[in-house]
Structure 1
Amino acid sequence: MQSSQPIGVFDSGYGGLTVLKELVARLPQYDYTYLGDNARAPYGTRSFETVYHYTLECVQWLFRQGCPLVILACNTASAKALRTIQQHDLPLIAPDKRVLGVIRPTTEVIGKYTKTGKVGILATRGTVLSGSYPIEIEKFYPSIDVFQQACPLWVPLVENNEHDKPGADYFVKEYMELLKAQSPDIDAVLLACTHYPLMRDKIARHLPAGSQLIVQGEIVAESLADYLQRHPEMERRCSRNGQLRCFTTDSAEDFDSHASIFYGKALQSTHIVLP
């Protein structure tokens, strides 16, 4: 047993910090190790095979840091890589470790947010093309109709710190109008990308009348708390020193300058090179 066995949190870049923020707020006693694969971001436009390959490399790196449990705080990685890693790779490389995503916890509760049974999904093109949200929602709420809208320009706007500027309004309105055109009865809209909460206020201004905006971070944090309670054998393995370490595959200076935008306060990261 290693003395430090942090919960690993992985994202293709900065967006997962919005999930990490909620995990730490809900479960501050645990240690966390965050890895952002900023050098190869964004994942949203990449193929299934590429996202799977990149995600597996990062998960294995987190395993080597002692993490017994890894959260894919990235919708694209959860959509394109999680199932294969869980079913194919873990039994071979780390049968005693676990990898969880952000899609399943969200789809388990999404029915609580809609009265009309019409749900909108705002996501990257990769997540939309994967069909993961309609497939998972069907399992829990077969009567819900799902309407997806890819928003390929939103992540670049956030990554370049343009998301809160007037120029972003045009692209927010454009994608929201496309979503609303799919059904006039949408009354719940999910931000199915961890970057999108930074544009929450702009998005909210274009919501269908009377609809709710669903943000994943708190849902994922509550789901993790429930998971650890239901799996005491895993909970006991997670070290509790309240420590957070952040790593990036790109410039640590760049990561640190952006991190506070997503996390809410300054972070210090370390650059790593994946083998």
Structure 2
Amino acid sequence: MNSVFKFIFIIFSPLIAFILLEILMFSFFHIKHYIKGMRVKKGGSNYKKPSVLKRLLLQFPERLSLDIYARDPYEFREYGLHMFCGEQGSGKTTAMVHLLNMISAKYPQSKVRTNMDYIDQVAPIAHWKDLVENDNGIYGQVEVLDEIQTWFSSNQSKDFPAEMITEISQQRKQRKMLVGSAQVFSRIAKPIREQTTFVYLPLTIFGCLTIVRVSKPQYWNDEKQVFTRYIKTYFFVHTDEIRNAFDTYKKIEKYKNEGFKEEKTIVINQ
């Protein structure tokens, strides 16, 4: 054992001696300069990091209280891309209108714009650029595209407009909620599917009761074309308010030029 320690000492002794010499020389010059009147210069910064206790016990509760008092009750707090999927007659548009009615009641100063003649919409959506070129400040707005695959199909994913990517990814900052419907989730353009927050799968029975299962894109099995897991389920009864809020038979016109290739400077190839 002694031989091992002796070997280690022999190996590291030059390094130890060098470090000690460096410390000695630094101390010599530092004291020499101090005696000559040199002093360490102090910066002009007044920053002092608050302690953990100060941040938790003083700053946090005070900030929380101030935020509660300053909060605007009509400030829009919804976000995400909400997609309603189901075959014809499943009640996806009705379920979508049920959600819109709840949002409008909860946020009376919000605005709704759709392509389906929703009764409370402030303006129609005639072009995908209508989704980009407006906002409603902190009071928010909901943008709705019924039968979204007629505008953004999976066949057009490679020509998906870059402005829409930005719009979808920043909708929370812009106080926007995007809502769409499609018969089959996989038929929607890939950039939209990847940004979807929740997928709603309605089933209507007796023509007046709709049961909605809610899932997320990561639970989609592309091979089997089904969702493998659901995060919640709810139901609602069709009311006159819901049925009179939209035109069931309104024709959804597809964007007249197939694809988006005319926007050459903003196309994303995937």
| TM-score strictly above 0.5 | no
Answer 1 or 2: which has greater helix percent.
Answer: 1
Return the index of the structure with the highest Cα Rg.
2
Could you state the TM-score of these two structures normalised by the residue count of structure 2? 0.27
Bigger relative contact order (CA 8 A; separation at least 6): 1
